[in-house]
């Protein structure tokens, strides 16, 4: 499972990794630390495999994008010998290179897409989404 969360820091004055970020939970921008995680779960337990704190360089550009991190983390999991039943992702992680990497490992991935077929999903209403499983991209 690959996903991210924002640890809200509304009163932070100067803390590393605290940035203005869009929060779908708050439906707006907040100050916080963005944590991206690749985790293994059996539905009862969740074990983090790898995580990243979102950081920017001096020019304000990300040191590593979330998609780049997940590509690296999935490769790391593969090298550990992990073979997941499914790789579940938020649609914002549906980059062609990431999905091709997952497909290259012969792993099945699942993510939600808006009923209109557009990416990424920005709403949480179940009626707006359908889940996609399988091989989206042909290599």
pLDDT of residue 79: 96
| 31 vs 125, more confident | 31
Residue 117, pLDDT > 60, answer no
Q: Would you say residue 98 lies in a domain?
A: yes
Per-position b or e across 37-64, b if 16+ CB within 10 A of its CB: bbbeeeeeeeeebbebebeeeeeeeeee
Say which range, 7-11, 93-97, 129-133, has the weakest mean pLDDT.
Answer: 129-133
Cα separation, 99 vs 132, in Å, equals 12
Residue 130, pLDDT > 50, answer no
Domain of 43 in residue numbering reads as 2-134
Q: What percent of the chain has pLDDT over 70?
A: 80
Q: Would you say residue 96 lies in a domain?
A: yes
Structural domains of the chain, count: 1
Q: Would you say residue 99 lies in a domain?
A: yes
CA angle at 137 for the pair 38 and 97, rounded to the nearest 5°: 45
Nearest to 17 by CA among 65, 59, 57, 70: 57
Cα separation, 49 vs 34, in Å, equals 17
């Amino acid at each position: 499972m690959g996903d991210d969360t924002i640890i809200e820091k509304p009163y932070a004055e100067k803390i590393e990794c605290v940035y203005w970020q869009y929060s779908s939970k708050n439906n707006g921008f907040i100050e916080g630390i963005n944590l991206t995680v690749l985790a293994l779960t059996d539905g009862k337990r969740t074990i983090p495999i790898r995580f990243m704190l979102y950081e920017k360089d001096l020019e304000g550009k990300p040191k590593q994008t979330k998609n780049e991190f997940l590509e690296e983390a999935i490769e790391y999991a593969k090298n550990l010998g992990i073979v997941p039943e499914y790789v579940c992702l938020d649609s914002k992680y549906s980059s062609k290179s990431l999905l091709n990497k997952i497909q290259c490992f012969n792993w099945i991935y699942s993510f939600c897409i808006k009923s209109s077929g557009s990416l990424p999903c920005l709403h949480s209403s179940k009626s707006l989404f359908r889940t996609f499983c399988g091989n989206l991209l042909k290599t």
